[in-house]
Structure 1
Amino acid sequence: MTDDLLGRHRAVLPDWLALYYDEPLEITHGEGRHVWDAQGNRYLDFFGGILTTMTAHALPEVTKAVTEQAGRIIHSSTLYLNRPMVDLAERIAKLSGIPDARVFFTTSGTEANDTALLLATTYRRSNTLLAMRNSYHGRSFSAVGVTGNRGWSPTSLSPLQTLYVHGGVRTRGPFAHLDDYDFVAACVDDLKDLLGHTRPPAALIAEPIQGVGGFTSPPDGLYAAFREVLHERGVLWISDEVQTGWGRTGEHFWGWQAHARSGPPDMLTFAKGIGNGMSIGGVVARAEIMNCLDANSISTFGGTQITMAAGLANLTYLLEHDLQGNARRVGGLLIERLRAATAHVPAVREVRGRGLMIGIELTKPGTDEADPAAASAVLEAARAGGLLIGKGGGHDTSALRIAPPLSLNVAEAEEGAAILEDALRSIQ
Structure 2
Amino acid sequence: MSELLARHRAVMPSWLALYYETPIEIVSGKGNRVVDADGNTYLDFFAGIVTNMIGYDVAEVRDAVEAQLARGVVHTSTLYLLRGQVELAEKIARLSGIPDAKVFFTNSGTEANETALLLATHARGSDQVLAMRNSYHGRSYGTIAVTGNRGWKNSSLSPLNVHYLHGTDRAHPAFAHLSDAEYVDVCVADLREVLSTTAPDVACLIAEPIQGVGGFAMPPDGLYAAYKEVLDEQGILFVSDEVQTGWGRTGTSFWGIGNHGVTPDMMTFAKGLGNGFAVGGLVARGDLMDALPANGVSTFGGNPVATAAANAVLDYVLDHDLQANAARLGPVVLERLAPLTGLSTVGAVRGRGLMFAVDMVDPASGAPSPTLAAAVLEKTRELGLLVGKGGLHGHTLRMAPPLTLTAEEAEEGAGILVEAVTSVDSTAA
Instruction: Name the TM tier (shorter chain).
Output: over 0.9
Match of 1:414 in 2: 411
> 1:61-113: per-residue Cα shift (whole Å, max 9, x none)?
00110111111111100000000000000000000010000000000000000
Give every structure 1 segment of 4 or more consecutive aligned residues whose post-TM-superposition deviation is greater than 6 Å: none
Match of 1:190 in 2: 190
Letter in 2 for 1:310: A
Letter in 1 for 2:58: L
Find out whether 1:69 has 2:68 as its counterpart: yes
d(CA) in 2 for partners of 1:130, 1:218? 16
d(CA) in 1 for partners of 2:31, 2:2? 29
Percent identity (aligned): 57
Match of 1:209 in 2: 210
Letter in 2 for 1:74: V
From the superposition, tell whether residues 291 and 368 of structure 1 become closer, same or farther in structure 2 (CA, over 3 Å): farther
Letter in 1 for 2:282: V
Match of 2:328 in 1: 329
How far is the alpha carbon of 1:221 from its aligned partner? 0.3
1:149-164 aligned at under 5 Å gives the runs 149-164=149-164
Root-mean-square deviation (CA, aligned residues, Å) is 0.9
Letter in 2 for 1:403: A
1:167-186 aligned at under 5 Å gives the runs 167-172=167-172, 174-186=174-186
> 1:134-182: per-residue Cα shift (whole Å, max 9, x none)?
0000000000000000111111101101000011233236323210000
d(CA) in 1 for partners of 2:274, 2:169? 29
Q: Secondary structure at the match of 1:217?
A: coil
Q: Secondary structure at the match of 2:131?
A: strand
Letter in 1 for 2:155: T
Match of 1:355 in 2: 353
TM-score by length of 2: 0.97
d(CA) in 2 for partners of 1:424, 1:414? 15
Among 380, 383, 392, the alignment partner of 2:381 is 383
1:24-173 aligned at under 5 Å gives the runs 24-72=23-71, 73-172=73-172
d(CA) in 1 for partners of 2:266, 2:246? 13
The answer to whether the Cα contact below 8 Å between 2:341 and 2:349 also exists between their aligned partners in 1 is no
Letter in 2 for 1:115: T
How far is the alpha carbon of 1:208 from its aligned partner? 0.3
From the superposition, tell whether residues 179 and 7 of structure 1 become closer, same or farther in structure 2 (CA, over 3 Å): same
Letter in 2 for 1:81: L
Letter in 2 for 1:217: M
d(CA) in 2 for partners of 1:123, 1:3? 52
Letter in 2 for 1:243: Q
The answer to whether the Cα contact below 8 Å between 2:33 and 2:41 also exists between their aligned partners in 1 is yes
TM-score by length of 1: 0.98
Match of 1:280 in 2: 279
**Unaligned segments of structure 1, at least 5 residues:** none
Q: Which moved more, 1:272-281 or 1:361-370?
A: 361-370
1:247-286 aligned at under 5 Å gives the runs 247-260=248-261, 263-286=262-285
How far is the alpha carbon of 1:366 from its aligned partner? 4.9
The answer to whether the Cα contact below 8 Å between 1:61 and 1:313 also exists between their aligned partners in 2 is yes
d(CA) in 1 for partners of 2:103, 2:332? 35
Find out whether 1:238 has 2:239 as its counterpart: yes
Find out whether 1:373 has 2:371 as its counterpart: yes
Aligned length: 423
d(CA) in 2 for partners of 1:96, 1:169? 28
Letter in 2 for 1:22: E
> 1:284-334: per-residue Cα shift (whole Å, max 9, x none)?
110111111100010000010100010010011111111100011011101
Match of 2:296 in 1: 297
Q: Secondary structure at the match of 1:307?
A: helix
d(CA) in 2 for partners of 1:29, 1:105? 29
Q: Secondary structure at the match of 1:196?
A: helix
How far is the alpha carbon of 1:418 from its aligned partner? 1.3
Letter in 2 for 1:54: M
d(CA) in 2 for partners of 1:101, 1:351? 37
Find out whether 1:426 has 2:423 as its counterpart: yes
Find out whether 1:405 has 2:406 as its counterpart: no
d(CA) in 1 for partners of 2:107, 2:291? 21
> 1:26-73: per-residue Cα shift (whole Å, max 9, x none)?
000111110000001000000000000001111110011011111111
The answer to whether the Cα contact below 8 Å between 1:138 and 1:144 also exists between their aligned partners in 2 is yes
